[in-house]
Amino acid sequence: MTPATLRERLIVGLDVPTLKDAETVVRDLEGVVTFYKIGYQLAFAGGLDFARELASGGARVFLDMKLLDIDNTVAKGVENVARMGVSMLTLHAYPKAMRSAVEAARGSELCLLGVTVLTSMDEQDLIDAGYQYDPRSLVLRRAEQARQAGMGGIVCSAEEASAVRTVVGPDLAVVTPGIRLAGGESGDQKRVTTPAQAIRNGSSHLVVSRPIVASVDRRAAAQAILADMEQA
């Protein structure tokens, strides 16, 4: 992979409390990172307008909203997101929601991603939530449903990326959070993988937040992630 290709596959999560913090992170990573994730924390602090600003400035934006609602509500939300210029949007991988979203996004360049099982959840968490599947089985079931619905990709742990890739084929995006360099702190993630192993497992994009955003030298941290990816 060329350096340019690597940068396109690294998504930095702007998991910070304020727009000022987000702007600082983007400024610190200028020239190294071109793809950013905006989730709930920043979205509710003006992050949606910031997403439009980043997209209009040439950056790629992954809007991590994990939508789930009745079909019409999901569809109307996706229609508006498609007009924002962002590149990716997540929704929970429930079949009806995915089918509604795919139809709403038709004709746009928005890549819809189905969230399978959160990387903060393990088997006991799923049991507590009432699921009868272990994480791997549920991930693969939802990956197949996402493929059938016509989604653009899947969000899953890099531990499951190889198995997911066999289900969804070579063309769909497989986006993996829970990425840590060897020896790094796992934080609230329970299923983590190194950047190089994630790429070997079939991940198309890696989402990295805390190891870069919380670093005293963000550029060096991002470059270390990219260097590890290159080993794959």
Place of tokens 């198995």: 163
Q: Is 24 annotated as a binding residue?
A: no
Q: Is 119 annotated as a binding residue?
A: yes
Q: Is 126 annotated as a binding residue?
A: no
Catalytic: 66? yes
Instruction: Please name which of 166, 232, 153 lies closest in space to residue 198, comparing C-alpha atoms.
Output: 232
Angle, CA of 6, 10 and 16, to the nearest 5°: 155
Q: Is 122 annotated as a binding residue?
A: no
Q: Is 64 annotated as a binding residue?
A: yes
Q: Is 15 annotated as a binding residue?
A: yes
Q: Is 69 annotated as a binding residue?
A: yes
Q: Is 73 annotated as a binding residue?
A: yes
Q: Is 19 annotated as a binding residue?
A: no
Considering the candidates 69, 122, 125, 190, report the single residue annotated as catalytic: 69
Catalytic: 64? yes
Instruction: Please name which of 222, 150, 207 lies closest in space to residue 174, comparing C-alpha atoms.
Output: 207
Catalytic: 69? yes
Considering the candidates 21, 66, 122, 190, report the single residue annotated as catalytic: 66
Question: Which tokens in the block code for residue 1?
Answer: 């992979």
Considering the candidates 20, 21, 49, 64, report the single residue annotated as catalytic: 64
CB-count burial class (<10 Å; 0-12, 13-18, 19+) for 14: buried
Angle, CA of 33, 35 and 36, to the nearest 5°: 105
What single-letter DSSP state applies at residue 110? Answer: P
Active-site residues, by number, are 64, 66, 69
Q: Which residues are annotated as a binding site?
A: 15, 37, 64-73, 119, 180, 189, 210
Q: Which residues are annotated as a binding site for substrate?
A: 15, 37, 64-73, 119, 180, 189, 210
